[in-house]
Amino acid sequence: MTRRAGVWLWRWRRNPLRRTSDVVEAWVLLVASVLAVLGGLLAGLLTAGAMQQSADRVRAQSRQVSAVLTQEPTHGTARPTSSALVWGTVRWTDPDGSTHTGRARVPAAATPDSRVTVWTDGHGKLTSQPASRADAAFQSALGGIWAGTATVGAVLGGAKLVRAGLDHRRMDQWAEEWARVDTRWGRKTG
């Protein structure tokens, strides 16, 4: 065992100066370390998996529909570039033959009565284009990293609070012991 490892593991060795709070602190640190690693990993994997399943479900329910732009798209105060998307009123027909009208994002260059592509959900309502597989995988990975990091932070923050409570308790015990020592000596030091 190296000298450095001996310093780090001092709470686990027998020592007449070791207190019960030192042993409790050692166990808290060990449990917090294991929970932080395993909990962070589990939270990250579960979150990434749930986000990926949700994106897959949205992609499976969404479908591309050809629609007709019924009126001039709304541009704001400035004329957008030709690749920009603006709001426009569109009309489309569902596979069951029912006709619907709604507002969707359409290319700024589109003119009335031109064909545009819109997306509908499983209920036939207009929706935004679903994320591609690559975008969904990236978002899922970021969500998993965030969830794992948050879990690790929560566990380590809880351990830090427990350690702060143990430190406070140790300081109170030291104050009581100093008061007893001062009384035995017949005077007060503070």
- 103 and 121 fall within a common domain: yes
Whether 131 and 71 have beta carbons less than 8 Å apart is answered as no
Q: In this predicted structure, which of 22-36, 58-72, 128-142, 174-188 has the lowest mean pLDDT? A: 174-188
- 76 and 163 fall within a common domain: no
Whether 5 maps to a domain, the answer reads no
Using the 8-state DSSP alphabet, how is residue 1 labeled?
-
Among 129, 151, 174, identify where a domain stops: 129
pLDDT at residue 129 is higher than 80: yes
Whether 190 maps to a domain, the answer reads no
Whether 9 maps to a domain, the answer reads no
Domain boundaries, position 122:
63-129
- 69 and 110 fall within a common domain: yes
How high is the pLDDT of residue 83? 65
**Number of domains the chain contains:** 2
- Enter the pTM of the model: 0.71
How high is the pLDDT of residue 75? 65
What are 142-165's pLDDT values in tens digits?
999 999 999 999 999 999 999 999
C-alpha distances in angstroms, 124 versus 32, 45, 101? Answer: 49, 33, 11
How high is the pLDDT of residue 107? 85
How high is the pLDDT of residue 43? 97
Among 129, 158, 176, identify where a domain stops: 129
Please return the burial class of 139, using the count of CB atoms within 10 Å of its CB with bins 0-12, 13-18 and 19+: middle
What are 67-92's pLDDT values in tens digits?
998 887 776 655 656 567 888 889 98
For 108-189, list the strands marked E by DSSP. Answer: 115-120, 126-127
Whether 16 maps to a domain, the answer reads no
| Helix, strand and coil in the chain, % to nearest 5 | 55, 20, 25
How high is the pLDDT of residue 134? 95
C-alpha distances in angstroms, 152 versus 28, 43, 141, 163? Answer: 14, 9, 16, 16
Q: Which residue has the tokens 């329910």?
A: 61
- 121 and 162 fall within a common domain: no
Taking the C-alpha atoms of residue 23 and residue 31, their distance in angstroms, rounded to an integer, is 12
- 81 and 174 fall within a common domain: no
- 99 and 42 fall within a common domain: no
- % of the chain surpassing 70 pLDDT: 84
Comparing CA positions, the residue from 52, 47, 99, 108 lying closest to residue 75 is 108
